[in-house]
Amino acid sequence: MTLDVDIRVRVGGFALEAAITAAAGEVLAVLGPNGSGKSTLLGAIAGHHDHAGAGSAVTGRISIDGRMLDASVPPERRRIGLLGQQTMLFPHLSAMENVAFGPRSQRMPRADAAALARRHLADVGLEDLADRRPSQLSGGQRQRVALARALAAAPDALLLDEPFAALDVQTAARARRLVSELRDRVSVPMVLVTHDPMDAVMLAGRTVVLNEGRVMQQGATGDVLGHPNSPFVAAIAGVDLVAGTGGPNGELRSDPGTASEIRWAGRGDALHVGEAGTAVFSPGSVRIHRPSDARLAGAAANSWTGTVAHLEAIPGGVRLFTAEHPELAVDCSSKTAVDAGVQLGHALHFTIDPDDVSVRRSA
């Protein structure tokens, strides 16, 4: 089964244009900030035109294995499951009755639907809590019931809308593991909408990045997050991206010929002289040295200096930006920050191992 989407949606002044594909047993992550069009995309696929926005117009093509889902097909005949941030369990029904709701709505006899629901609850490890009401379950348990309910309706595709956003860190980790197990066991295409690159890394073979209704980049998750092609995607992936041109030895030179020139050596493509390319690295891979450090004499590759202009607290340490390279974030532990004298106005040396730098030629 393959979900094929190539649509344009207009909601008031907002326009979304996206083409995505998800194969059976595959999770496609749709990454993007609020307002990028993620929910509009899901609403259009699920057939919730109200959800996508009042007066929205969807044109284009949505199909599952050639079964066309045009605007005239209502949600109840699309066979597309939806699991949102809010579980939306029916509060007046037990866990079992919630899961049996889909099969019952599709006219399965009561006893068969109950048996099927119990099997699906067992699949998510909740067979013992089948008779509880949603209000008697924890947040993580509710999420698992909602997942079982979505799957019990035998959907041809499953849409996951920020399903982990409302859960605490540990519960979210367990929920991610459950989704990854289901991905391998249940053979339906899944589209996972999220603002957290972590979800894409843990679950999705392929990732699409949306911004302001446009696809910024799509491809294998490792490629998209490991080597973004734009500052926007780099910011989402949480990596540093520098653009430049090829120099001698296949290096990339950023800001060539200026005082802030840096030569980047790394893995990946060997650039020809003058060829446009980008270098990508994690802010945490950068090492920080006091300027007096003798090893840094001379303009070696992967080495630069800068004056600390901005500091941010990050878990376990500090993120700094320099006046000379304001676009490059550098992360370090609190101890390193103290040892290297990371303070506003202080000049520092930075180096990075070529193994930690990905160099690509621009397409």
Contacts with other proteins, residue ranges (CB under 8 A): 46-48, 50-51, 54, 74-82, 84, 86, 88, 90-93, 101-102, 105-106, 133, 135, 149-150, 153, 155
Residue with smaller CB distance to other proteins, 15 or 93: 93
H/E element holding 270?
Answer: none
Residue with smaller CB distance to other proteins, 10 or 51: 51
Cα–Cα distance measured from residue 263 to residue 123, given in angstroms and rounded to the nearest whole number: 53
Residue with smaller CB distance to other proteins, 92 or 292: 92
Closest distance of CB 229 from other proteins, Å: 34
Nearest residue to 265 (alpha-carbon basis) of 282, 279, 286: 279
Those residues whose C-beta lies under 8 Å from the C-beta of residue 58, and which sit 6 or more positions away, are: 7, 8, 9, 44, 49, 52, 71
Beta strands 27-31 and 190-194 are parallel
Residue with smaller CB distance to other proteins, 92 or 248: 92
Closest distance of CB 53 from other proteins, Å: 13
Closest distance of CB 223 from other proteins, Å: 32
H/E element holding 312?
Answer: strand 303-314
Closest distance of CB 316 from other proteins, Å: 23
DSSP H helices in 124-162: 139-152
Closest distance of CB 70 from other proteins, Å: 17
Neighbour-count burial of 231, counting CB atoms closer than 10 A to its CB (0-12 exposed, 13-18 middle, 19+ buried): middle
Closest distance of CB 2 from other proteins, Å: 19
Give the tokens for residue 192: 């996972």
Distance separating the N- and C-terminal Cα atoms of the chain: 32
Residue with smaller CB distance to other proteins, 101 or 304: 101
What value, to the nearest 5°, has the Cα angle with vertex 55 and ends 50 and 58?
85
Residue with smaller CB distance to other proteins, 145 or 342: 145
